Structure 1
Amino acid sequence: MNDTPGWTSPGSAPSDDQNGSGTPGPAPSDANGSAPQWSKDQPPAGQWSPPTGQTPPAPRTPTTGPNWGTPPPNAHWGSAPAAKPGVIPLRPLGMGEILDGAVKTLRTYWRTVLAITVTVAVISEIAGILAQRYLAPTVPAADPDATPAEALQQSLDAAQASLIGTGPALLVTLMASLFSAALLTVVISRAVVGRPVSLGSAWQEARPRLLQLVGLTLLVAAMSTAIVLVGLLPGLLVGGAAGAALVMLGGFGGLATAVWLLIRFALASPALMLERQGVIQSLKRSAKLVQGSWWRIFGITLVTQLLIFVFAMIIVIPFIMIGIAVDGDGFSGLLTESSAPGWPFLLITGIGGVITSAITYPISAGVTVLLYVDQRIRREALDLELARAAGLPGYGPAPGDQTVGG
């Protein structure tokens, strides 16, 4: 396997097949076997022709440690600003620049992005509405005078009803999110080098990788779930007060390990889509890119998800309040009735969900893809490959459709 492929967005040859395809081959590694510091097409000494008005970039050393703030100005580009053919400057990025790049992709390519996200969000919301309306069984109101055994049974019945009602909808939402992420990865990879992409082109390029992306997502989810269950198992087997303490301790340890695993494999999806890697190879690729930068990627991911959550609540809560007020007995019915919500409530909240998903999907996908690009710029001088792919003067001949599909 080629551990350090060149820039290969969807539509190009697999990173492992570099011979005779026109796709850049592997870049050299240093003596310690770490990621290369130079592009594979670096010109010989004395023949480097920098872009007009710019000085050539200085050699990079891999960035490690938890520093995930904005990099020092011109840290790798001398006194000249970095080239910016697309939504991000071609240099190591700070958290604000990654978020800004995701938002710019939504603004610049809004027709393609919204065509993807609105379609996916509508399908997800329809599935959720139908599941809540027709699959979720009615749960009897809780009896305040119930014995502990009866109260436990009531809780189990409520949990079962919730699982039956939301399980199919969650499955549809997961598949829709994967579909959206695959198409948006294609769009964002083009946005980095300033090239537009149509919905049909994005679908054509993402379609061959969808099944592998599903397998990758399910594998990571299964591993995370298994880790948490293993942490809980000793306490569940022991039981009693000691068992409860073990459950808390094991659950915390299992959850922490699962979070570590999720961040370690956070860049596997863009590696699978953009490098034409297999599932296992993509997991290894992500682990290599994340190594030494775990805390930085964790911090950016956490802040992004918190911002998305706050934004979603700002949009969703007014729709929920309106839906409750319009549906049936309003707020009093919400507090006293255990029946399924009515059509007005479901439709109004569904509209709010579509608006939220249509905007948050591309932001979340954009941050993941741009984190992947940023790590490769820091580790492998990918900015030189991207500059050539964008056809910028002074970086060698533009590879055209051989590196970035047109």
Structure 2
Amino acid sequence: MNDTPGWASPGSAPSDPSDGRDGAAVPRPAGQADEPGVQWSKEQPPAGQWSPPTGTGSGGGGIPPQQPQGWGAGWAPQQHQAAKPGVIPLRPLGMGEILDGAVSTLRRHWRPVLAISITVAVITQVASILVQRFIVPAPPEINPDATPSEALAQTADSLQSTMIGMVPAALIALAATLVSSALLTVVISRSVLGRGVTVADAWREARPRLLPLFGLTLLLPLLTALVLTVGVLPGLLVGDAGGAALAAFGGIAAFGAIVWFTILFSLASPALMLERRGVVESLKRSAKLVKGSWWRIFGIQLLMAILGFLVAMIIEVPFAILALIMDGDTLSAFMSNSSPEFGWMFLIVTGIGTVIASSITYPISAGVVVLLYIDQRIRREALDIELARAAGLTGQGPAASGATPAGS
């Protein structure tokens, strides 16, 4: 047990929905022998969460008449808050607590978080601007008086130009996601324990895992492309109207499959980073943790995507409007419905807006994924006990709820 990102032993307990945290029967009380025909209730008082019966009345310890007799009579649940050494309480989390934990990480550890996210966003945006300016071909001119065949050719050329432009941008985004998610996972895992971390520490912890993480990050888009191809290709090979309908149906089915396995494997990255697993093992680990909670994880990640999109639009749209105003040529091209060739001023101003938006959305998005992973392990494997020990808390319960991490 240590305070590094691999604080918990991987797979220390089964992750099936029938585990103890999900309602498994509590064993019979200690010291009771098995008796034929006796079945113990599943609702036994858990250890450490119940206070002993107190004597009341005039007889010196008798149970009050109004209380029911039998097992558990006179036992009252002891109310206390869960230990919270860092940004989250050490118990199963709600959706609001997960989002709050991600925001709290950004607020409490803003120096390493912003240093990582701003550096990655600036490098990514500079590379993207250079690619758009010098590598991506200029969009073809659109002739409004073109014949149907010429319009079709123009559309194909425009689509080809767009696809060529998307490849470098996708590779840059892949690299940014790789580095930021690796470093931010280390920062967030430490923040759960109430410990800070420097950028140098995060890099030292994350560097050995970058190559496996690259393989995982590359594998998921390839799997997406494969599923989409399998869904659409039969219809494209058939051709005509029937082939188009088949391609549309296959595309819808492929989209559903992509959404399903994207959520199923969404916890693979923190499993790879924090449990030191390989690529395939991390995918299996994610599927095991998500099993039985797919819709909940889907809802949380969908909400996070919507919130991230809204935050990005609130920041980027004003910068885009300002860029159009400052770059007269691009604005004139938009006003005349011709294909714009973005100038330096437009690219720089919009790039600044993108950097600011990314610096906020990167850490929050990474925080939600890591905290979802931790939440699932708390629910399935009692990871909260291991986290409390790693944080230096003396135990779970009222005494631990007010404790502070050792050395803080």
Q: C-alpha distance in 2, partners of 1:242/1:391?
A: 66
1:10 partner amino acid: P
Per-residue deviation, 1:37: 4.7
Map of 1:347 onto structure 2: 348
What are the superposed Cα offsets for residues 228-263 of structure 1, whole Å, 9 maximum, x if unpaired? 111111211111111111111110000000110000
CA distance in 1, matches of 2:17, 2:369: 26
Letter paired with 2:115: A
Q: Which residue of 2 aligns with 1:329?
A: 329
What do residues 122-178 of structure 1 show as CA deviations (whole Å, max 9, x unaligned)?
A: 011001111111112222321122222221211121122223333223212211111
What SS does the corresponding residue of 2:196 show, helix, strand or coil?
Answer: coil
Q: Report the equivalent of 2:393.
A: 392
Cα distance change of structure 1 residues 335 and 9 upon mapping to structure 2, 3 Å threshold: farther
The answer on whether the counterparts of 1:120 and 1:176 sit within 8 Å (CA) in structure 2 is yes
Q: For the Cα contact (< 8 Å) 1:14–1:277, is it kept in 2?
A: no
Q: Deviations over 1:48-101 (max 9, x none)?
A: xxxxxxx8358xxxxxxxxxxxxxxxxxx9521111110011111111110000
Query: Identity over the aligned pairs, expressed in percent?
Result: 58
Match in the other structure for 2:98: 98
Tell me what 1:85 maps to.
85
Partner Cα separation in structure 1 for residue 7 and residue 123 of structure 2: 30
Larger radius of gyration: 2
What amino acid maps onto 1:292 in structure 2?
Answer: G
The residue that corresponds to 1:372 in the other structure is: 373
Match of 1:224 in 2: 224
Letter in 1 for 2:389: R
Cα distance in 2, alignment partners of residues 310 and 330 from structure 1 = 25
Structure 1 residue 328: Cα displacement: 2.4
CA contact (8 A) 1:216 1:269 kept: yes
Q: Determine the structure 2 residue equivalent to 1:56.
A: 48
Equivalent-residue separation in structure 1 for 2:229 and 2:296 (angstroms): 28
Structure 1-normalised TM-score?
A: 0.81
Which one-letter code corresponds to 1:343 in the other structure? Answer: W
CA RMSD of aligned residues (A): 2.6
Q: Show CA shifts across 1:301-359 (max 9, x none).
A: 00100000011000000000000111023533323342421111011000001001111
Q: How does 1:3-402 map to 2 (within 5 A)?
A: 9-10=4-5, 15=10, 26-27=12-13, 29=14, 35=19, 37=21, 56-57=48-49, 79-329=79-329, 331-336=331-336, 337-395=338-396
Looking at structure 2, the residues matched to 370 and 174 of structure 1 have their Cα atoms a distance apart, in angstroms, of 22
CA distance in 2 between counterparts of 1:376 and 1:247 reads 40
TM-score, normalised to structure 2's length? 0.80
| Number of residue pairs aligned between Structure 1 and Structure 2 | 351
Question: Is residue 8–residue 274 contact of structure 1 (8 Å, CA) maintained in 2?
Answer: no
**CA–CA separation in structure 2 for the residues paired with 1:119 and 1:221:** 24
Q: Is the 8 A contact 2:103 2:364 kept in 1?
A: yes
Tell me how far apart the structure 2 counterparts of residues 171 and 344 of structure 1 sit (CA, whole Å). Answer: 24
Using the alignment, how far apart are the partners of 1:273 and 1:208 within structure 2?
A: 9
For residues 209 and 124 of structure 1, the distance between their equivalents in structure 2, rounded to whole angstroms, comes to 21
Structure 2 Cα separation of the partners of residues 37 and 14 of structure 1: 18
3-state SS in 2 of match to 1:87: coil
Are the counterparts in 1 of residues 329 and 343 from structure 2 also a CA contact under 8 Å? no
Query: Which ranges of structure 2 fall in alignment gaps of 5 or more residues?
Result: 23-28, 31-46, 51-76, 401-405
Asked if 1 retains the 8 angstrom alpha-carbon contact of 2:235 and 2:245, the reply is yes
Letter in 1 for 2:343: G
Contact 2:7 2:387 in 1 (8 A): no
1:371-398 C-alpha deviation (Å, 9 max, x unpaired): 00000011111111111111112259x9
Amino acid at match of 1:279: V
Question: Could you tell me how far apart the structure 2 residues matched to 1:304 and 1:395 are?
Answer: 31
Cα distance in structure 2, aligned partners of 1:323 and 1:370: 37
One-letter code of the match for 1:56? G
Q: Distance between the aligned counterparts of 2:275 and 2:197, measured in 1?
A: 18
Amino acid at match of 1:180: S
Alpha-carbon contact 2:190-2:196 (below 8 Å) kept: yes
What code does the residue aligned with 1:206 have?
A
**Is contact 1:8-1:15 (8 Å) kept?**
no
Distance 1:209 1:374 in 2: 22
Displacement after TM superposition at 1:33 (Å): 9.8
